[in-house]
Amino acid sequence: MRILITGGSGLVGRSIHRLMDNYFCSENVESFFMRSNQCDLRNYGSTYTFISEYQPDVIIHLAACVGGLYKNINNRRIMFEDNFAINFNVLKIAYELNIKKVISCLSTCVFPDAVSYPLTEDTLHSGEPHNSNYPYAYSKRFLEIQSRIYNELGRSFICLIPTNMYGKCDNFSLEDGHVIPSLIHKFYNAMTQNNPEVSIRGDGSALRQFLYVDDFARIILSFIKNKSVGEGDSNDISNTFIISPDIADEISIMDVALLISKYVGFKGQIIKDTSFSNGQFKKTASNQKLRKSFPNFQFTSVDNGLETTIQWFISQYPNLRLK
């Protein structure tokens, strides 16, 4: 079996690379972790050539133009156009080359802003997404629709919707990183520079279910190992799964900031900068559908995941992604 991983040098791609051998140690599996400098996936011709030359049996589609809340707000056109082109090209070419299985990564921002909680897979298209990141959200919704169309034609194109991810090899940019990696970098700078305070954007009340990246990678590989999962009725959303820790594990941004300050060793004060938006207050998601397929899966706690990630960040600094 040949597996092509787009976005292979990103957060999830590197985690899959670390875990791959443990999942396929006794099988004849060849994998290729594709980097953005090897092929511009926004270009249909170069993407077709690249994928057809490798001839994969499975594609794990992770490549995307991503960033935190404020990158989404400040780069709306790019976030829509680049992601739409990347997703459309990869899925269309996979269909044309008769690649049976594609596993794509979405985001919980695809869900409507005005919706009953917890989020479930069948509410994906039931309203407008939050205004702060609607261009990115719609590009990912179109990916799910395109996958569903190809499933009606005999493919197994699976969409996984992870909640907020973090972990080793993340983008720790202070401006464009997601909330956890950017806060780790900010608290580390304050600690090493003896700054007496750290400001967080917003009032810290927003709630999130944070997903440790190695947990998501293990689930992706489990979908490949367990060939029957995701082979449901192609005419509904049975090939779409929310990947989330339990609802009881939801935590506020302020509580995350307090944990980060503890593991970084910052002793100063945390200031709330309420001139910045909180974004969507919560995106509480249900993992009941996932639990039916993987009832015994154990998620990493935020406490343990943060400690591991921060230890790695400190050991690698400054040789990691900081912009």
Inform me whether the pLDDT recorded for 320 exceeds 50.
yes
38 domain-assigned: yes
- We report the CATH number of the domain holding residue 126 as 3.40.50.720
Asked whether the CA dihedral 240, 100, 98, 161 is positive or negative, the reply is positive
User: Rounded to an integer, what is the distance from CA 238 to the centroid of its chain?
Assistant: 20
Q: Which residue has the tokens 């080793």?
A: 168
* Total Cβ atoms within 10 A of residue 125: 12
Does 259 reside within a domain? no
pLDDT tens string 152-165: 999 999 999 999 99
Rounded CA gap, 252 and 258, in Å? 10
pLDDT for 81 beyond 60: yes
| Pairwise CA distance, residues 93 & 322, whole Å | 33
Q: Looking at 134, 136, 188, 212, which residue is catalytic?
A: 136
For residue 83, is it within any domain?
yes
Residue 51 within any structural domain of the chain = yes
48 given a catalytic annotation: no
Is 310 part of any domain? no
Domain range for 96 is: 2-170+210-248+283-301
* pLDDT tens track for 254-273: 999 999 999 999 999 999 99
Task: Identify the band that residue 229 occupies on the pLDDT scale cut at 50, 70 and 90.
Answer: low
d(CA 315, CA 188): 12
Q: Taking all residues of the chain, what is their mean pLDDT, rounded to a whole number?
A: 92
Residue 277 forms part of a structural domain:
no
Rounded mean pLDDT, 165-190: 93
User: In angstroms, rounded to a whole number, what is the distance separating the alpha carbons of residues 16 and 310?
Assistant: 20
The count of C-alpha atoms lying within 13 angstroms of the C-alpha of 63, restricted to the half-sphere facing its C-beta, is 28
For the chain, state the CA radius of gyration. 19
- Judged by DSSP in three states, 272 sits in strand
What residue spans of the chain are helical by DSSP H? 11-23, 44-54, 69-74, 76-96, 134-151, 179-192, 213-225, 253-264, 288-293, 302-316
Exposure of 305 in the CB half-sphere (CA atoms within 13 A): 24
Whether residue 179 is contained in a domain is answered as no
Burial environment of residue 178 by CB neighbours within 10 A (0 to 12, 13 to 18, 19 or more): buried
Answering whether pTM is above 0.85, one says yes
Structural domain total, the chain: 1
152, part of any domain: yes
Residue 237's pLDDT is what? 56
